[in-house]
Structure 1
Amino acid sequence: MEVFDLSTKNYFVDYTIIASSLGSRHTIALLDHLKRGLKPEENFNNVDESGDWIVIDLGDVLIHIMTPEYRVKYDMEKFLSSLADGREGDVL
C-alpha cells in the first residue's frame, strides 16, 4: 500500500491511497470491509467498482484497490510520485 500526500499540489484530492488485492474477489471483499469500517466516520461520495479495480472517493481522499496485474498495467505510482515531487511534466 502506498499513500501519496498531494495536499500542497494542484490535484483534486489531498491524499491518494493505492492498495493491492489478491484478486477480484479479494478486491470486492476489501471494499466491503472499508464500507463497514469507515461508514460511521466517512461519507462515500462515489464508488466505481469492477473486480480488478475499485476507486473510492471520500472527498479529500481517493482510495484505489487494484489487482496486482492492474497495478502494474496502469502504474499510477509513477504519475502520483511525479506529482507529489513536483515533476508533473515528467509523466505527461
Structure 2
Amino acid sequence: MQTRIDAITQILDEKKAEDIQIFDMRGKDYFTDFVILATTLTQRHALSLIDELKTKLKAKGEEFLSIESSEDWSVIDLGDIIIHLLSEQYRLKYNIEELLNSLEKQKLGS
C-alpha cells in the first residue's frame, strides 16, 4: 500500500500539485483506507494531473473505478484510495482536512 501512496504523491509532486496531504483512514468510520488531498493551480492543471495519474498508474496495474471532475474539484476513486484535487478556493471553503483529521484521530469503537 505504501508503494502505491508514494507513487501517487510522487506524480502529484512532480506535476506541481501543492499542499499534498495523506490521511490514513484504516480502522476509522470511513469508506476508504486512504485519502490524498492536493491543491491545483487551474482547471487545466487538474486535468493534466488526472491524465498523468492515469497514464503512470494504469501502467502499474492500478484500476480507476471512477473519476468525477468539475472546474474546482476532481475526485479519483481507486477503491481503497480516494484522491481529491481541489482549487485553492474550494480547499479553503470545504476544509476537508478538518473532517479527515478528526476521523483519523478516532479510535474504532469510540
Query: What TM-score do the two structures reach when normalised by structure 1?
Result: 0.90
The sequence identity of aligned pairs, in percent, is 44
**By how many angstroms is 1:63 displaced?**
0.2
Contact 1:3–1:15 under 8 Å retained in 2? yes
Contact 1:48–1:55 under 8 Å retained in 2? yes
Q: Which residue of 2 aligns with 1:90?
A: none
Q: Distance between the aligned counterparts of 1:12 and 1:31, measured in 2?
A: 22
**By how many angstroms is 1:86 displaced?**
1.1
Unaligned residue ranges in structure 1 (runs of 5+): 88-92
**By how many angstroms is 1:51 displaced?**
2.1
Q: Which residue of 2 aligns with 1:31?
A: 50
Q: Distance between the aligned counterparts of 2:31 and 2:43, measured in 1?
A: 27
What is the aligned-residue RMSD (CA, Å)?
1.1
1:32-80 deviations in Å (ceiling 9; x for gaps): 1111111122100011111211000001000001111110011000000
Q: Distance between the aligned counterparts of 2:89 and 2:29, measured in 1?
A: 29
Contact 1:28–1:51 under 8 Å retained in 2? no
SS in 2 for 1:62: strand
Match of 2:62 among 23, 42, 50: 42
Q: Which residue of 1 aligns with 2:106?
A: 86
Q: Distance between the aligned counterparts of 2:38 and 2:62, measured in 1?
A: 18
Unaligned residue ranges in structure 2 (runs of 5+): 1-19
Amino acid at match of 2:97: E
Bigger proportion of residues as helix? 2
SS in 2 for 1:70: helix
Amino acid at match of 1:11: Y
1:2-34 deviations in Å (ceiling 9; x for gaps): 000001112110000000111111111111111
SS in 1 for 2:51: helix
